[in-house]
């Protein structure tokens, strides 16, 4: 019995050590991204968002425009949260083409829905949760470093009216 207890105690000790935090994650600002959109509801559980011309990215090491085609698929989960999957292309100011894909989780609220319904701009300050995880792909030598990073984005501004709809993100490299 003593051997069983010692084995159990050892295993418990190992698992608590394994669960201890052993590293830190830091972020580095990469860019701000502005994406004009047009929503098309397929049914209550799926909305397809077309990415319209006029979008841009701007940051210390990258700047350019978002070029068609591009889209964002939003699936409504049973909890009401949205799962996001987007794909788009960036043409940098110096002519490089960069593919960008990201997934995300969006959790709104009644207040956010009402504000958007009134045509107000909603920011990250009053939006419960809107986080993305983006990856890049390019053959442009100057931007090859983008192939080697994982990024996270946070919605900083959202507007949705008949005349104008867009989302704006800050994107950060995770280190």
Q: Is residue 170 part of a domain?
A: yes
Domain that holds residue 30: 26-174
Q: Is residue 154 part of a domain?
A: yes
Please tell me the number of Cα atoms within 13 Å of 131 on its side-chain side.
5
| Dist. CA 58–CA 30, nearest whole Å | 8
Q: Is residue 12 part of a domain?
A: no
> The CATH number of the domain where 145 resides is what?
2.40.160.20
Please give the sequence-ordered ranges of beta strands (E in DSSP) within the chain, or none if there are none: 27-43, 46-51, 56-58, 63-76, 82-92, 97-107, 122-123, 129-137, 151-160, 165-174
Q: Taking the model in full, what pTM does it have?
A: 0.85
**Other Cβ atoms closer than 10 A to 69:** 9
| Dist. CA 38–CA 19, nearest whole Å | 44
Q: How confident is the prediction along the chain (175 residues), in pLDDT tens digits per residue? A: 666 555 555 555 555 566 889 999 999 999 999 999 999 999 999 999 999 999 999 999 999 999 999 999 999 999 999 999 999 999 999 999 999 999 999 999 999 999 999 999 999 998 999 999 999 999 999 999 999 999 999 999 999 988 899 999 999 999 9
Number of domains making up the chain: 1
**Other Cβ atoms closer than 10 A to 141:** 8
Burial readout 42-68 (b: 16 or more C-beta within 10 A, e: otherwise): eeeeebebebeeebbbeeeebebebee
Q: Is residue 165 part of a domain?
A: yes
């Amino acid at each position: 019995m003593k051997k069983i207890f010692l084995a159990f105690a050892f295993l418990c000790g190992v698992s608590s050590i394994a669960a201890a935090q052993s590293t830190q994650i830091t972020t580095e600002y990469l860019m701000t991204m502005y994406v004009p959109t047009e929503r098309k509801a397929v049914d209550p559980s799926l909305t397809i968002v077309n990415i319209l011309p006029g979008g841009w990215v701007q940051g210390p090491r990258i700047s350019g425009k978002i070029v068609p085609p591009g889209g964002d698929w939003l699936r409504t989960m049973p909890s009401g949260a949205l799962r996001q999957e987007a794909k788009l292309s960036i043409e940098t100011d110096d002519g490089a083409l960069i593919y960008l894909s990201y997934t995300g989780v969006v959790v709104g609220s009644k207040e956010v829905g009402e504000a958007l319904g009134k045509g107000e701009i909603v920011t990250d300050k009053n939006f419960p949760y809107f986080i993305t995880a983006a990856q890049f792909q390019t053959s442009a030598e100057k931007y090859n470093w983008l192939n080697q990073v994982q990024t996270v984005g946070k919605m900083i501004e959202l507007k949705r009216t008949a005349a104008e709809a867009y989302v704006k993100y800050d994107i950060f490299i995770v280190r």
